[in-house]
Every structure is written in structure tokens, then in C-alpha cells.
Structure 1
Amino acid sequence: MFIFKVFMVIYLLTLQILLANSYCTKSLVPALYVFGDSTVDAGNNNNLNTPAKVNIFPYGIDFNNCSTGRFSNGKTFADIIALKLGLPMPPPYMGVSTIKRYQIVSGINYASGSCGILNSTRYGECLSLNKQIEYFTSIVTNDLPRNFRSKAKLSHYLSKSIFLLSIGSNDYMLNYFKQEMVTNQKGNHEEFANYLLEQLGFNIKKIYDLGGRKFVIIAIGPIGCIPDFIDKNSRSKDCNEDMNQMVKPFSNKLPWKLRELTTQLSGSVFTILDSFKMFKKIKNSSEKFGLTNIWDSCVGEGGKPCDNRKQYFFYDSAHNTEATNEIYANMCFSGRHACFPLNIEQLVHTD
């Protein structure tokens, strides 16, 4: 069984690389590059010394029944967006050999579980956002030029590609909240949000300087609504609003920060997925979206997954099911309310 699992992981990685090599004009954009944390990690943590890895059952049960390292039962938000763009799912950077990396022109996934915007945010070894961009810099400098005849063609390719960032939650869960518990003091939420946004902006500028122009930013969602942190009593369950109030300054200020970057970075375009708004929308009419349980983890005691995974919002105590990722991706890609000021389809057609 172990050998079979290893074979399947190698097979899937090879398949993604082959698909990447078959990039053609049918795709809506040349490439999708993914940066972030466990919400979009495609298996980078499999190759790191960290307890934050999920290359075991029951993860991947709906991904050809193979635990690739995705923190879900199936595809992530980034995977689904890639397919909607007509691209193969970006393979994890750490899962592609050095000699093969130059061949991939349809995008790479650098996301790493437990990482955050800050270098100090981590649970074991992980690829910090700074490190992820360092690896992307190497790709742009050393690998991609082998596929383009001129700097102008490479620049055009990067300007038309999409750069997706889903990161920041761990800066609260594994950093800010823990500091509060140790000091028994509530720090200044506004100041911490401002600092995170400043660091996020600094990293976005790095990607811009390398050629990125089109960005999709996944805003931090209501952390107080995940199974790990919800308020539970004998009769009902609800979000931990004290926790949500600590996070909201970041989400509220993110649009302003990106507007500021738009004025500073000529030709840059941003769209934001409002995770707070999306969760509230689903919570208030969950059955409309085909979900019957938005509070509990699908994975129960002993690691046994629920049978009706398409009806659960959360797969484990902190991560979405593939069904939830599909809802978010569908609405962000072509809907009118999830992502603003543009959906991804509109972002694709911006100059």
C-alpha cells in the first residue's frame, strides 16, 4: 500500500508537469503563480521538516484517493481557478526537480502550510512568503528565460499571468493570538494589521518588480468561525466574535492598501476575495449552496472522514472541503459579489 501511494504521488506530479509542458493558446492566461499557506499548498510541505503536512489518509480522498499534501479532501481554491483558466494545476515547487523546473511555463505553486506574511510565523519548517518569492525570483531569472527569445516576450508573459496570494491567517493563529496568551494582554489590533499590510505590500512589490501585474488576493476570513475556535454550548454553535474583531482590521484595510499600491505600481491590477462576506453569505443560506453543516469538521475522531463531504464547509478543524473551495472559486471567477472590484474573468481581460 505504501509503495502504491508513493507511486501515485509521483504519477500525479509527473502528470501535472506533462500538462504544464503542453501549454497552448486555449488557456485564458499564460500562467498562474500561487503564493500562500495551507489553504493553497499543493504539497510543498511534504518535502520540509514540519508536523504541518498532510500526505496521509484521509487527505486527498477525493483527489484520486491520493494524499498529495493538499489540506483538503480534494482540490484547493488555486487548483480550481487554474482549471477554469484552462491551465494545469500548478505543481508544488518543492516537488519538481531542478532540471525540470525550466520546462514549466504554466505556473508553479510556492504555498507552504503554517507560513504567514511574517518570517517569524511558522510551525516547524516552512517556506516563508519571503522565501517563496526568492524561489520565484530564481525561476524568473534562471529558468523562464530559456523559454523566451527576448526579455520583451518574457515581460509580456509575466504581465498577462495571474499571481494568487492566500496568506495571513497564520500570522494571527500561530503568532498574534499566541503572543496575547503568553503576555495575557490584548495588543493593538490596528497596529498589528497595519504592520502585516505593510509587509504584504512590500512582498507584492517584489513580485511586481519581477514582472507581475495581475493579482488575486484572498483576504483573511473569519478565523473565529472555524471549528477550532467557534463558541460551543449545549444548544448551538456560533462564531467567536472576539477573535473575529481582532482580525477584521486587516480585512477592512486591505482594499485601501491595494488601492495605494495601484497608484504606486503602474499597470498593476488587484482583485480581492472577501472571505468574511463570503462566509456570512453561505452561513445565512447554506442549503442554497448545497451545504448542510458549516460548523463541524468532516474528519472525525480517529481520522475518519464523513461520507457526505460535499455537504460540509470544513474538511478538518481549519480547512475547507473541495465543495467549499468550488463555491468560492466559481463565485470569484465569474460572479459579481465574491471578488471585487473585478472577478477573475474580468481581471483576465484587463490591459
Structure 2
Amino acid sequence: MKSFKAFWVFFYIVHHSFFLKVDGAESLVPALYVFGDSSVDAGNNNNLHTHAKANVPPYGIDFNNNAAGRFTNGKTFADLIAIKLGLPLQPPYLGISDSKRYQVITGINYASGACGILNDTRDGECLSLDKQIEYFTSTVVNDLPKHKHLKSKDELKHHLSKSIYLISIGSNDYFLNYLNPQIRSYKNMNPEEFADYLLEQLSSKIKTIYNLGARKFVVGTVNQVGCSPNLYCNETINQMVKPCSDKLLMKVQEMEKQFSGSMFVSSNGFNFFNKIKNDPKKYGFANISKSCIQEGIPCANRKEHYFWDFGHITEAAVDIYANECFSGSKMCFPDVKKLAHADL
């Protein structure tokens, strides 16, 4: 395990230069901290006992041909937002040695594939959102104060309040939990009730991050889990998860009022697929129903495919979403650029 962690440290030094970077004029915010599931996992699951891993080819074929642990062919949504903010890519928390974590001040990725908002949402070993926040707490309390530029309370407070916290999680709470016929825990709730419960749980967990000093949030929850190369397109399932998407904007606006001095961006991945589905050619897609990977072999025209594997999307699709979320569209409200520039 130690040698594996050492490899990750070396990899990120070489490719992303995330050590010892001081808050500078080149980046719009000091750091980006990432929480979530496989939609934004940067390799944390590489270190866990689970089959939900993406550290083997053809994953990463367009990420310097390196299967680093991202569940796509290239960069994730979090990666692309980081680049637009002028930041290096965030390393996975479990991929940084304990002795080096204090040096990483441009953000860390705590996301874990096959996990969800609820602690009992999982497929094998993964980092629940509570566990991710526990690791972030350790970052704030134990690691960041050791850095020479964050030793004072004011410096640390400024760093945390100006940074952005991206949370992309919730689809697994449906796919692996609520819609799973083998799990009975939430079957007494109708879709509206489960959506309310899920968002209330999410709000409670975000409050913990807020209490640690966070003020700027980007929050996305459920996608169209009824649409995938295996299910394309089960509208009965989509209608069961839609309430969570519909209620998210109101929930983040509620949190913004409750959490003094905060600002929230609501990210709507559910509606994004509808936009692509209505006019795929407009966005450069020739295929929005089949996986790019067939029998372990990636397709050659990856930029023309929406789906990468059984449920994750290609970098081409993620790139469109990231562009719209960053600089203004109905997919993210308000946009991430406004969040970065906001003087709270």
C-alpha cells in the first residue's frame, strides 16, 4: 500500500504539479474540493476493496493514456471545472501519502464510485459522503494549518471561504438503493418523499462542510438513471428519480438562506441529457444510446459517443456540460464563474 501511495504522489507531481502552489492571480479561487461518486472520482477507489474501479484500460485512454481511476475516457466534470478555474487537477485523497497532504493547498478530491448520500448506499467498499467529509475535516484541522501560507487563522479562513466545494452525488442512492428490489429500507416512501428525505440528508451533510469554513458550493444530484446503454430509456425509472432533480434548486436556495454568507450553484445533470437527446447532432453526437466500449474495446470515434461505458459518459459529453455550467446556462444556476467571482 505504501508503494502504491508513493506512485500516486509521483504521478501527480509529474503531471499536475499540485504541490506548494500559493494562491495566485492565475486561479480564480484558492482551491477546489470535490465530493461525490464515480461521476467525479479521481482514483480514490483504486485504494479500496471494490470491483467499482476504473484503473485499467481502456479507462483513461484520452487522459494521457493513463487509467488513473476516472470512470471515463478522459477528464471528469470536476477536472474540467478545475481547469476553467485556473487550478491543477485535484488529487484523490487516498492517493496522497499522510506526510504530503499538508502540501496540497489547491484542493483535494474525496469522491468515491458506487457510494451515495446515504451511508447504506454502496456496492462493495467505498467512501460514503460522511466518510468523505470526515477526511475533509482532517484536511482542515490537521493538514492545511501546517502549510506555511495557511498557518494563521485568518489565512486559513480566507482560503476556505474563497475556495469552491463541488458535490456530485445521488444517482447511486436510487440505482443501488431505492430502486434496488433487494433493499427494503425505503420502500415505504413514495418518490416525492424519498427525494425530500435524500435532499434533507444532503443538506445536513453540507452544513458540516459549511461549519468548517466553506461558503461557495456547486451541488448536483441525480442524473437520468433510467437512461443508459442497458436501459435506454426507461421513463418509469426516470419519473421516479425526477423529483430529486426538480427539488434541488429550491433546496439549495433554502440552504443559501439558512447558511449565512454562503452561495450555491444548482447543477442539473438530469435535464442535460434531455438537451442532448433532443438534438444530438447539434452537439456532435452520432450515438447517444450505445456504449463506446464494446467487449472491452473502445470505439475510435469517442467524441461522437455520449456514453462511455454501461452508465458513465464520455469526456466529450462532460466537456459540453462543464462549459455550460461554468459560463452560464440553464444547466447550472447561477453559473460557476459567477460563484468564483462572488465577494461574500
Q: What is the TM-score of this pair, normalised by structure 1?
A: 0.91
Give the distance between the partners of 2:56 and 2:190, measured in 1 at CA: 39
Q: Are 1:305 and 2:298 counterparts?
A: yes
- Residue 218 of structure 2 aligns to a residue whose secondary structure is strand
Deviation at 1:228, TM superposition (A): 2.6
Which residue of structure 2 aligns with residue 135 of structure 1?
A: 135
Deviation at 1:21, TM superposition (A): 2.3
Q: Are 1:44 and 2:44 counterparts?
A: yes
1:32-181 equivalences in 2 (<5 Å): 32-147=32-147, 148-179=150-181
Deviation at 1:222, TM superposition (A): 1.1
Give the aligned residue type for 2:55: N
Tell me, yes or no, if the aligned pair for 2:117 and 2:202 is still in contact at 8 Å.
Answer: yes
Question: In the alignment, which of 329, 333, 338 is matched to residue 336 of structure 1?
Answer: 329
Tell me, yes or no, if the aligned pair for 1:180 and 1:187 is still in contact at 8 Å.
Answer: no
Give the aligned residue type for 1:200: L
- Residue 164 of structure 1 aligns to a residue whose secondary structure is strand
Deviation at 1:179, TM superposition (A): 3.6
Spell out, residue by residue over 1:316-351, the C-alpha distance to the aligned partner (whole angstroms, 9 max, x if none).
Answer: 0110101111111011011322211x1111111112
Considering fraction of residues, name the structure with more helix: 1
Give the distance between the partners of 2:17 and 2:342, measured in 1 at CA: 29
Tell me, yes or no, if the aligned pair for 1:167 and 1:218 is still in contact at 8 Å.
Answer: yes
Give the distance between the partners of 1:182 and 1:307, measured in 2 at CA: 42
Which residue of structure 1 aligns with residue 259 of structure 2?
A: 265
- Residue 208 of structure 2 aligns to a residue whose secondary structure is helix
Which residue of structure 2 aligns with residue 217 of structure 1?
A: 219
Deviation at 1:187, TM superposition (A): 4.5
Which residue of structure 1 aligns with residue 199 of structure 2?
A: 197
Q: What is the TM-score of this pair, normalised by structure 2?
A: 0.93
Length, aligned pairs only: 336
Which residue of structure 2 aligns with residue 240 of structure 1?
A: 234
- Residue 226 of structure 2 aligns to a residue whose secondary structure is helix
Give the aligned residue type for 1:80: L
Give the distance between the partners of 1:13 and 1:299, measured in 2 at CA: 27
Which residue of structure 1 aligns with residue 268 of structure 2?
A: 274
Percentage of matched positions with identical amino acids:
57
Give the distance between the partners of 1:153 and 1:22, measured in 2 at CA: 15
Give the distance between the partners of 2:143 and 2:7, measured in 1 at CA: 27
Give the distance between the partners of 1:152 and 1:9, measured in 2 at CA: 31
Give the distance between the partners of 1:143 and 1:187, measured in 2 at CA: 41
Deviation at 1:11, TM superposition (A): 4.4
Deviation at 1:311, TM superposition (A): 0.7
- Residue 17 of structure 2 aligns to a residue whose secondary structure is helix
Tell me, yes or no, if the aligned pair for 2:8 and 2:96 is still in contact at 8 Å.
Answer: no
Give the distance between the partners of 1:133 and 1:181, measured in 2 at CA: 25
Deviates more, 1:287-296 or 1:70-79: 287-296
Which residue of structure 2 aligns with residue 325 of structure 1?
A: 318
Give the aligned residue type for 2:172: N
Structure 2: stretches of 5+ with no match in the other structure: none
Which 4+ runs in 1 deviate beyond 4 A? 5-11, 180-183
Which residue of structure 1 aligns with residue 307 of structure 2?
A: 314
Give the distance between the partners of 1:44 and 1:228, measured in 2 at CA: 26
Which residue of structure 1 aligns with residue 18 of structure 2?
A: 19
Deviation at 1:188, TM superposition (A): 1.0
Which residue of structure 2 aligns with residue 348 of structure 1?
A: 340
Give the aligned residue type for 1:274: N
Tell me, yes or no, if the aligned pair for 2:191 and 2:240 is still in contact at 8 Å.
Answer: yes
Give the aligned residue type for 1:14: I
RMSD: 2.0
Give the distance between the partners of 1:293 and 1:18, measured in 2 at CA: 36
Pick closer, same or farther for the CA change 1:181–1:154 going to 2, 3 Å.
Answer: closer
- Residue 165 of structure 1 aligns to a residue whose secondary structure is strand
- Residue 18 of structure 2 aligns to a residue whose secondary structure is helix
Question: In the alignment, which of 285, 289, 297 is matched to residue 291 of structure 1?
Answer: 285
Give the distance between the partners of 1:327 and 1:104, measured in 2 at CA: 29
Pick closer, same or farther for the CA change 1:287–1:262 going to 2, 3 Å.
Answer: same
Tell me, yes or no, if the aligned pair for 2:17 and 2:88 is still in contact at 8 Å.
Answer: no
Deviation at 1:8, TM superposition (A): 8.1
